[in-house]
Amino acid sequence: SQQGEEDPQALSIQEGENATMNCSYKTSINNLQWYRQNSGRGLVHLILIRSNEREKHSGRLRVTLDTSKKSSSLLITASRAADTASYFCATADAETGRRALTFGSGTRLQVQP
């Protein structure tokens, strides 16, 4: 099944630095979403970018989408220790008609204070 794959699997940075995570997927999509998961908790929706959009901002988050390369990136600027979490991309498949998101395996972000 089509699935987003995040890269890198793990990322460790210092507080104040920027963190960039990438997601690749396999089929045409309607939209792509990013979620955060703190340890032992449920996922929290961060941002949604539609297939006809190229870039979207929300606070310290910047998401880009390149449908020709079937890839997306999530940039967190001026990271904080509280940003430590796993980040997942999820895609809404436009080809199979599946009415549910497909999630990638995630990037574990560690922000050192």
Contacting residues toward another protein, per CB under 8 A: 1, 3-4, 30-31, 33, 35, 40-46, 48, 88, 92, 99-106
- Cβ 16 to another protein, closest distance in Å? 28
- Cβ 41 to another protein, closest distance in Å? 6
β-partners of residue 103 are 90
Q: Which of 15/22 has CB closer to another protein?
A: 22
Provide the 8-state DSSP code for 82: G
Burial class (CB in 10 A: 0-12, 13-18, 19+), 73: middle
Q: Which of 4/85 has CB closer to another protein?
A: 4
Residue pointed to by tokens 């939209």? 31
Task: Give the tokens for residue 90.
Answer: 């999820």
Q: Which of 104/111 has CB closer to another protein?
A: 104
